[in-house]
Structure 1
Amino acid sequence: DMGRIDGGIGVALRDPSLRVEVAEASEDIVPDDLRPVVDLLRSKMGVNTSYRIEIERPLPQHVGLGSRTQTLLAIGKGISLIEGLDYPPREIARIVRRGGTSGIGVAAFERGGFILDGGHSRRVKPDFLPSRASSAPPPPVLFQHPLPEDWYFVLAIPDVEPGAHGEKEIDIFKKFCPVPARDVEKISRIILLKILPAIIERDIEAFGEGITAIQNLGFKRVECDLRDKIIKDLFEVLRNSSYGHGMSSFGPTVFGVVDGEGAAKELEHELASFFKERGISGKLIRSCANNEGANCLLVEGNPVKT
């Protein structure tokens, strides 16, 4: 026992992207599911302004892309800028209780790129719980680095059961954690000695091999094993047509890593043919990394676009 839990890696992408507008208003015009969050932000920031909040371009929900974290951070950042407070993303995350398991979403919002977080000390977070059930702050970021802009991620999001969330997610954590120490050791070795050097050396082949290798280890293996058979079939397609592949969080989003937009278009076409042959619907997205993080713009009249 190293005295820490959680820990993970992730990448910020340009697409799909989120766009939120926050503006002062005479009374709250806020989506119902976001009203408690806005009330909490007002309370913690010590303000009493009313707001109009519009999700102009939402992220797909419950598909493993961290949509809830990005949405709440965007709203919190917008409110803080309107009020002249400029809270940093990590502090907003503490207020809205995000980052209690993974620090990837918060770090991606801050400045994008490839991210490795160091998990939580047992003194801060004694139990294995997802973010929504944890009061722990976001974990420390150990490594954050831009990815080459010609490295593309091709995402396939089949229309199947959404990724685990809510009480189901909590139950999975309770049932399968902690994962075997030998798996943690293998994952750590792959990240430290294969994935991170590959990023620095711009070696997409080694990067992809490392990403593929960890899909069958630790909690990621649990997440993959709980998914529909279609995920494993997509892995087979990606195994032969990309440098590396994996599933994002609980899925069902899977991805392949390729070199260049041309290769990304070819893989996207191949995956579209796969969906058609299987008679299933879904979304396909190709994207390079977002190496800057969120873009927050305060415009005349006080609306903030994030």
Structure 2
Amino acid sequence: MPFRDAAGIRIRAPARLHLGFLDLGGTLGRRFGSLGIALDRPATEVTVRRAEADSASGPDSPRAARARDTIRAALDVGGNFAIEVDAALPAHGGLGSGTQLALAVGMAVARLSGSDLSPRAVAELLGRGRRSAIGMEAFTAGGVILDGGKAMSGPQAELPPPLLARLPVPEDWRILLIFDAAREGLSGSAEVAAMAALPPFPEAQAAHLCHLMLLEALPALAAGDADGFGRMVGLWQRLLGDHYAAAQGGGRFLSPDVAEAVALVESEGIPGVGQSSWGPTGFAIVDGAERAADLAGTLRRRFASSTNLTFDCVRGNNRGAELTAL
């Protein structure tokens, strides 16, 4: 059934990890430049139906309603839509909750209104992708995503970063996630202020990270080498964690509990560890489901008394969001 003839659309949009920026200062010509991984779970799950009157229910429904109203106005279309948010990602957890929810609703309203705009075009209308394209590209087709950062001037400076590479997450890899329900990462005006207050990012360090990305991390990923890819990610995370430390309590991690859990994983020989975006969510890139499950079990036993912490082992998502006509 074509989406424009459907009574509604159900959308499942993947969470993503944002592994960091390559050049925070733009000293090499473009600013930011991001690497991210789309995850099979957790996910945003939303149903948008044609309706006699607008409505929105479920977790984060006010944000969903704003996305509906924004995209409807941008497309200059009529019609009312009922939104049911069946599952939302933890807000300000480093998983891309805002972008995935906005894109899920925006794409549903666009398709029900007869528009075939791409997720990137919808994201632009919604004001998403101002620093990173990881969220919109995770929605589009998943995988491990590298974007090219923001132009420093000219018309391109107003556009989201271009996609440079998308490689599949190897099927036997697992991402061990470490959640801290007691913490929230920076967002909104607090995030903008924190970014503005960061010290200058050294040009030599940016060049080194770009070199490692192109000639170490991506080749290791293409070869399915989890430890080789993870070593570069772990190094990158340490450099960025030190750079961000003043904005997140003086350490590489926003959550001391997550930091302790990550240290335990690293002591078990897993080099690809870190924090997604501003956290608090931590991660580890693990080769093999059994090894990941064993590590998760070790963490659950070690942190049994830390009721704020939870752990999960997930696959990568190599499909992107799923839209189903109703």
| Partner SS state of residue 12, structure 1 | strand
Paired with 1:125 and 1:70, the residues of 2 have a C-alpha distance of 26
Judging by fraction of residues, say which structure has more strand.
2
User: What is aligned with 1:228?
Assistant: 255
Q: Does 1:185 align with 2:198?
A: no
User: What is aligned with 1:303?
Assistant: none
Structure 1 residues 219 and 258: alpha-carbon distance in aligned structure 2, compared to 1, 3 A threshold: closer
Give the aligned length: 290
Moved more, 183-192 or 49-58: 183-192
| Partner SS state of residue 55, structure 2 | coil
Q: Cα RMSD (Å) of the superposition?
A: 1.9
Q: Following superposition of structure 1 onto structure 2, how do residues 1-306 of structure 1 map, counting pairs within 5 Å?
A: 1-30=27-56, 31-124=61-154, 136-176=158-198, 178-218=200-240, 221-222=243-244, 225=252, 227-241=254-268, 242-277=270-305, 279-299=306-326
- Native 8 Å contact 1:275 1:281 kept in 2: no
- Native 8 Å contact 2:65 2:83 kept in 1: no
- Native 8 Å contact 2:198 2:243 kept in 1: no
Q: Which amino acid aligns with 1:173?
A: M
User: What is aligned with 2:12?
Assistant: none
Paired with 2:222 and 2:122, the residues of 1 have a C-alpha distance of 31
Paired with 1:219 and 1:143, the residues of 2 have a C-alpha distance of 24
Identity of aligned residues (%): 31
- Deviation of 1:260 after TM superposition, in Å, equals 1.7
Paired with 1:103 and 1:124, the residues of 2 have a C-alpha distance of 18
Paired with 2:274 and 2:155, the residues of 1 have a C-alpha distance of 28
Paired with 1:232 and 1:226, the residues of 2 have a C-alpha distance of 6
Per-residue Cα deviation, 1:247-290 (whole angstroms, up to 9, x for no partner): 1000010011112211121111112123225x342221211110
User: What is aligned with 2:20?
Assistant: none
- Native 8 Å contact 2:180 2:280 kept in 1: yes
Structure 1 residues 28 and 292: alpha-carbon distance in aligned structure 2, compared to 1, 3 A threshold: same
Q: Scaled by the length of structure 1, what TM-score is found?
A: 0.89
- Deviation of 1:125 after TM superposition, in Å, equals 8.7
Paired with 1:34 and 1:5, the residues of 2 have a C-alpha distance of 30
| Partner SS state of residue 14, structure 1 | strand
- Deviation of 1:3 after TM superposition, in Å, equals 2.4
Q: Scaled by the length of structure 2, what TM-score is found?
A: 0.84
Paired with 2:41 and 2:134, the residues of 1 have a C-alpha distance of 16
Paired with 2:129 and 2:193, the residues of 1 have a C-alpha distance of 19
Q: Which amino acid aligns with 1:9?
A: L
- Deviation of 1:220 after TM superposition, in Å, equals 7.2
- Deviation of 1:6 after TM superposition, in Å, equals 1.2
Paired with 1:202 and 1:225, the residues of 2 have a C-alpha distance of 28
Per-residue Cα deviation, 1:107-126 (whole angstroms, up to 9, x for no partner): 11111100010101011599
Per-residue Cα deviation, 1:31-71 (whole angstroms, up to 9, x for no partner): 33333322211111111110001111111111100011001
- Deviation of 1:161 after TM superposition, in Å, equals 2.2
Q: Which amino acid aligns with 2:259?
A: K
Per-residue Cα deviation, 1:159-189 (whole angstroms, up to 9, x for no partner): 2320011221011111016422122122112
Paired with 1:220 and 1:55, the residues of 2 have a C-alpha distance of 37
- Deviation of 1:140 after TM superposition, in Å, equals 0.3
- Deviation of 1:104 after TM superposition, in Å, equals 0.5
Paired with 2:211 and 2:219, the residues of 1 have a C-alpha distance of 12
Stretches of structure 2 lacking an aligned partner (at least 5 in a row): 1-26, 246-250
